[in-house]
Structure 1
């Protein structure tokens, strides 16, 4: 199954360029959502990594500290082909910290270490700050700057990034094989299930982008508060709701498919069901594996967005995204990457 060319909200990319020629072209810094207490059974280590994936660093920490791999945790996966900073927690009950600086090497640097009473859970972060350089950029500056101004004020469609689906969408085909009875490891199963319902979500979102309703409240919608997972159903469209959606305080959502009754009604329910029914193997497979329905916002707010042309053909972007949002959702709106 091939990945679709999901719809853009601002006319589509009118320029082209290259990213990740070197790791410093793509810099990601994790933003913590809580303060460390300085005491407790869990060592917290802030690591800068270059061209290494998160799981590899977690395994390395486990070996170095002499603990099980499951005793090392992190808030989220970070790009490999980049320079990234993120926190890891290591459960060391009754044990002193080793000299974490002994881990320092060409691709890994320990920036800080402290303690906390609880481990670092998945998703326990406020967001990520990005600094991205687009090299060999070719296009009309006035067009891309107009798009960036609109993105700054209105956000972008909150697509799952292509990395969720594997190379050439391979994780979708592996999900279909899983649903057909193929045996895989627990970790692989989680990856393929996530890819399957992300794929359905992106198709629903793309349909609403085409309909120009991805950033508007519809009767029967489920709206989610910005920066929260709290939501409510829209039984009536009054001025208060419409203005809060326009102000980016509330966002429409789409289903993350699984078992359970749909929460939306009216035209929204019809739209979601029509899209999901086109991919019945994925939909039935998710239900069969006991995945429960959830909701995800259709819009990603791009905070602190700044840009500059550091030379005629090099565009630099700086911005902050919330948890679970992808930088590629912004990039696809403005540039075709080669």
Structure 2
């Protein structure tokens, strides 16, 4: 008996299918609290580095003056914290991203300020009979955790240099 081929479950069909929000604990900011302007950067189908460069250009600052905690997925809608020393106290919006001014902090935002990421993931194109198996898999993740997959944002040629981060790490070249 020939088995009927099923289409596979679809992930990230649209940017709205994969929403990531940075979660922080302990990073404090408020009106006139310090010299570092704090922004919420929300981007859509755009690499983090490109959004940071565009933000620096719009605000008239050097790219190296824009600090953020980590790279976020390109094929998604993501929100993360960004700081600029003596940055403008204004927001900016364009088609692919927005930078919303939140207040000021006493220091830059850093990767150590990230508690984790909150995800909203939409799966498409699955048959109703797979729902029990999906529920079981989701429940096991609650008990045992979730594998941390990074993909191109960690191991691809995402840097403007075109170098692969994993290759440099293996060569113990951590600062490049």
Q: TM-score range by the shorter chain?
A: 0.7 to 0.9
Whether the 8 Å CA contact 1:65–1:98 is kept in 2: the answer is no
For the Cα contact (< 8 Å) 2:27–2:113, is it kept in 1? Answer: no
Retained in 2: the 8 A contact 1:36–1:114? no
* Secondary structure at the counterpart of residue 163 of structure 2: helix
What residue in structure 2 maps to residue 305 of structure 1?
A: none
Which of 157, 165, 171 is the equivalent residue of 2:155?
165
Asked whether 1:16 is paired with 2:5, we answer no
CA contact (8 A) 1:76 1:123 kept: no
Residue aligned with 1:153, SS: helix
**Aligned mates of 1:24, 1:126 — CA distance in 2:** 23
Q: Deviations over 1:66-123 (max 9, x none)?
A: 221110010111111111111110111xx7x2532xx212222334421011111234
**5+ residue gaps in structure 1?**
1-14, 172-183, 197-285, 292-338
- The 4+ residue runs of structure 1 with deviation greater than 6 A are none
Deviations 1:139-180 (A, max 9, x none): 622222222222211223x444333333xxxx6xxxxxxxxx
Q: Of Structure 1 and Structure 2, which has the larger fraction of its residues in helix?
A: 1
2:140 to 112, 126, 150: 150
- Whether the 8 Å contact between 2:37 and 2:89 is mirrored in structure 1 is no
Which residue of structure 1 aligns with residue 3 of structure 2? none
Partner of 1:113: 102
| 1:37 paired residue number | 29
Contact 1:23/1:81 (8 A) holds in 2: yes
**Matches of 1:69 and 1:44 in 2, distance apart?**
15
Between structure 1 and structure 2, the one with the greater Rg is: 1
Structure 1 residues 66 and 111 mapped into 2: Cα distance closer, same or farther (>3 Å)?
Answer: closer
CA RMSD for the aligned pairs?
2.6
Which whole-Å CA distance do the structure 1 matches of 2:130 and 2:149 have between them?
A: 27
Matches within 5 A, 1:41-190: 41-92=35-86, 97-100=88-91, 103-138=92-127, 140-156=130-146, 158-163=147-152, 164-166=154-156, 185=161, 188=163, 190=165
Give TM-score scaled by structure 2 length: 0.78
Deviations 1:207-255 (A, max 9, x none): xxxxxxxxxxxxxxxxxxxxxxxxxxxxxxxxxxxxxxxxxxxxxxxxx
TM-score, length basis structure 1: 0.43
- C-alpha distance in 2, partners of 1:47/1:76? 12
How many angstroms apart in 1 are the aligned matches of 2:109 and 2:134?
39
CA distance change for structure 1 residues 191 and 155 in 2, over 3 Å: closer, same or farther?
closer
Q: Distance in 1 between matches of 2:164 and 2:138?
A: 38
C-alpha change, 1:81 and 1:160, in structure 2 (3 Å) is: closer
Deviation for aligned residue 1:189: 6.3
